[in-house]
Amino acid sequence: MIEMLEGKVAIVTGGSKGIGRAIALEFADRGCDVAVAARGAEALEGVRKEIEQRGRKALALPTDMADDDALEKLYEKTIETLGGVDILVNNAAAAKGGRCSRVTYDSFEHVYKVNVWAPLRLAQLCRESFKKRGGGVIINIASNGGLIGDTGLGIYPSSKAALINLTRTEAKDWGRDNIRAVCIAPGLVRTDMAESLVAYMEKNPEKNLNPLRRIGEPEDIAGLAALLASDSGRYLNAETYIADGGEYSMGVFDT
């Protein structure tokens, strides 16, 4: 039986494509109304139509995750349009490539504002609705690089490490209100952000060292997110669930 999310409302950031789009559509397939947010209005509108084609209500709101006013507007419009929030998926992310020697304060501030502060601020806002509705779920999308670090990605892996720890703290702070906070740490997934690395791996399959020997698809992450958001995951809290084909667990990261 497919676990349903009937009667639930979710906000999915970074919801116009890739992992965010896949999660939004998976949730809609399971009976959830969904608000999707990202910067690209045209792509968001396409996802809104896909959600509505599944018979669910949808809100598509272009949102700059580095803008606090935009985050508040996203929450308020979701309440106004969809009636509340039960699930928050913090998937939007910023990445500045290059070695650590190239990181500037401006790039550091931007990455941490989008990858750590925005998820926290949205969780703070959604907490009000969670409490009114008897509980809620925060799903933070991190990276397996947040567990071990990675090269050539600047401050991005450390921001994901911060997000992983933030998840644990939210779970401890808000568990008494029946608010769960969990984290997903994907490995390489076929998304626009990872386009160059995906192309490299496809040309050099021997370099893909995860035991499954394949690149992850956005739908691989969406199924896990649906489990974590559902009643079947009601006792799952504070943990980080690694979805990388076994790469991290096998200790096969390049160093």
Q: What CA–CA distance (Å, rounded) separates 167 from 238?
A: 6
Residue 116 CB-density burial (10 A; 0-12 exposed, 13-18 middle, 19+ buried)? buried
Q: What CA–CA distance (Å, rounded) separates 68 from 44?
A: 20
Q: What is the CA radius of gyration of the chain?
A: 17
Going from the C-alpha of 6 to that of each of 42, 82, 87, 221, 247, the distances in angstroms are: 28, 13, 12, 20, 34
Displacement of CA 167 from its chain's centroid (Å)? 12
Q: Which of 75, 112, 156, 248 is catalytic?
A: 156
Structure tokens at 58: 């949808």
Q: Smallest Cα–Cα separation from 162: which of 197, 194, 114? A: 114
Confirm whether 241 is a catalytic residue.
no
Which residues are designated catalytic?
A: 156
